[in-house]
Amino acid sequence: MKSPLQILILCIILMATACYKDKGNYDIIEYSKINNITHPTVPPVILGDSLKLKPAFSWEHPERDTTGNAFEFEWRQLDSVVSRERNLGYVPDITGYVMIYLHVKEKATGIVTRFSIQVQVISSYKAGWMLLTKDQGKSVISFVRRDAKRDNNNQLYYEYKYFPDVYNQLHPDAPLGNNPVKFASKAFPDYTADEVLLLQGNATTYLNGSDLSKVIELRNEFNGNAFPNNAVPVDYVDGGPVNFTLLSDGNVYWKRNSVTMGGIHQGKFMDVPVYFEGGGAHISKIIDVSIDYTYFLYLYDDLHKRFLGLFTTTGDDSFLGGKLYLANGSTPPAGFVDLNNQAGYALIYCSDYANGAYFMNIIKNETSGQYLLQNYRLTRRGTVLEANEHQQEAFAGNGIVTDNTIYHRIRNSSYLFFGEGSKLYFYDVNTKQVKLYHDFGNGVIKAITTDAPGGELGVALSNGVFSICSLKTEILGSANPGATGILFSQQQVGDIVDLSWKWGSYYEYVFRRYP
């Protein structure tokens, strides 16, 4: 039961409500709500190119004014405002994974809706073909990049851009050096970055992968900031937790890093070279192998005419840098030239294929002059590289090849390409047939290498011509592959010394892809 006081209060409230009259002295503001802002994933943008974004808006009331008359648009790169237009068009000034923010403010209410998208901005020189040439003994670097484009019908096509003498254009006050030898382009200070080691005279130098600026000279990573025995570097391998350098005296030096990735500039190389049992060794070649699959360096000792290995795995690191010796796991066929004793034969070429499981050698009989092709499988078992599935045959290129022939195995295919004089050939290991790809007419082929996925082949000639050739099946199967397979050609690139694919980062390397 309600008390008299409660009844009195209720009556006062009802009377007050009945006496209230809406005079209409206020404004009703309609909120044109943004339900959502979306945009498709953006492909990587090259530093210096324009980034264009056209976001899609979902409105609560699309019939109302949704233009710049009713809304303010503000695009930000990190904390900097880069545009006040509804659609973004600007040139990024930093590289890496960049966050782009859009703030949309409704003028009538002051309500702000936010949208963000991550964009990868890559260096103009992140990935592509690097050409090392010399000009009066001085090192010169040029670069060729492939850009993906789409036509008006949204069909993908590629454009190739040549950057001549790119290092001196970027760094005119810091000359490279003299007596260029080669590139070592698999050097990774981080999973998402790369460096290139330029081997040259006594000034072998790491270059930053983004702008090619100098990082540090390799000699500064040896005690006393000097190479042992006045030797100079001729090759280098970044093995992740370990790094190796081959000097001109035939010795391999190494250092161990405290981290699996990013330790390439940690600590110093050991003063004492790796010693191999069986009378030592004179290493003439570090074989270019897929080290992320093999987990070992593959070496050729021209003192004892044998192959050797050095352990690099990121697994059981108690054996990092350990020496590996070859042994047969099965009996080779009669006449197979022993991998531990190739006396009487000269090693012409060696490469791995099939994800680092199999290897092929081109060797020459120093008496008869005949070239042989060897294939075999290597499996690491403790300190042993066990060889199996041996095969050997007279190379089908006999009569074409010489000691000056340039070879390159396409690792994800059955093709071995080789250049002799001005002619580019390929050998199909399945059909055992040799086919002419193209005769460039002039010059001598000096270097051959593929792009990241192995779909295009770069060819550099002594007359200063650099060409890119398609490796598509329909091209290789045609009667005259070079007639339609030459995708790009550049004249006057210089006196070629080396050609290398620049990966861009460790991720691009292990996935064999473009950025």
β-pairing verdict for 384-394 and 323-328: parallel
Maximum distance among all alpha carbons in the chain? 128
The domain limits of the chain are 34-122
Residues 6+ apart with CB under 8 A from 288: 351
φ, ψ of residue 354 to 5 degrees: the values are 55, 55
- Which ranges in 202-333 belong to alpha helices (H)? 291-294
Cα separation, 409 vs 216, whole angstroms: 32
Determine the Cα–Cα distance for residues 282 and 229; give it in Å rounded to an integer: 14
In what helix (H) or strand (E) does residue 495 lie, and over which residues does it extend?
A: strand 495-502
Does pTM surpass 0.75? yes
Residues 6+ away with beta carbon under 8 Å from 148: 43, 156, 157, 158, 514
DSSP one-letter code for 30: P
DSSP code of residue 442? S
- Please calculate the CA angle 433-435-436 and round it to the nearest 5 degrees: 160
pLDDT at 427: 98
Tokens of 436: 């002419």
pLDDT tens across the length of the chain (515 residues): 455 555 555 555 555 444 445 544 545 555 668 889 999 888 888 888 899 999 999 988 888 888 888 899 999 998 899 999 999 999 988 888 899 999 999 998 899 999 999 998 888 999 999 999 999 999 999 999 999 888 888 899 999 999 999 999 999 999 999 999 999 999 999 999 999 999 999 799 999 999 999 999 999 999 999 999 999 999 999 988 899 999 999 999 999 888 888 889 989 999 999 999 999 999 999 999 999 999 999 999 999 999 999 998 655 555 667 899 999 999 999 999 999 999 999 999 999 999 999 999 999 999 999 999 999 999 999 889 999 999 999 999 999 999 999 999 999 899 999 999 999 999 999 999 999 999 999 999 999 999 999 999 999 999 999 999 999 999 999 999 999 999 999 999 999 999 999 999 999 999 999 98
Question: Going edge to edge, which strands form the sheet with 456-461?
Answer: 445-450, 456-461, 466-470, 486-490
Q: Which CATH class is domain 34-122?
A: mainly beta
- Tokens 């192998």: give the residue: 289
Q: What is residue 10's three-state secondary structure?
A: helix
Check residue 356 and give its pLDDT. 94
Q: List the 233-238 sheet strands across, edge first.
A: 233-238, 242-247, 252-256
pLDDT value at residue 11: 52
pLDDT at 76: 95
Q: Which residue has the tokens 């009556």?
A: 11
Q: What's the CA dihedral at 372, 377, 382, 383 to 10 degrees?
A: 10
Report yes or no: 316 and 304 within 8 Å, Cβ to Cβ. Answer: no
Please give the Cα distance from 141 to 508 (Å, whole number): 22
Q: What is the dihedral of CA 79, 84, 85, 88, to 10 degrees?
A: -20
- How far apart, in whole angstroms, are the C-alpha atoms of residue 302 and residue 283? 6
Return the DSSP state at 241: S
CA separation for the pair 209, 128 (Å, rounded) = 11
Say how far apart CA 447 and CA 62 lie, in whole Å: 61
Q: Are 442 and 463 in contact (CB under 8 A)?
A: yes
The CA distances from residue 184 to 20, 45, 233, in Å, are 86, 26, 11
The pLDDT assigned to 44 comes to 87
Q: What would the DSSP string read from start to end of 160-220?
A: EEEETTHHHHH-TTS---BSEEEEEEEEEEETTEEEEEEEETT--EEEETTT--EEEEGGG
State CA 233 to chain mean position distance: 23
Q: In 10 A of CB 508, how many CB atoms?
A: 20
Please count the other Cβ atoms lying within 10 Å of the Cβ belonging to residue 180: 24
Residue 319: predicted pLDDT: 62
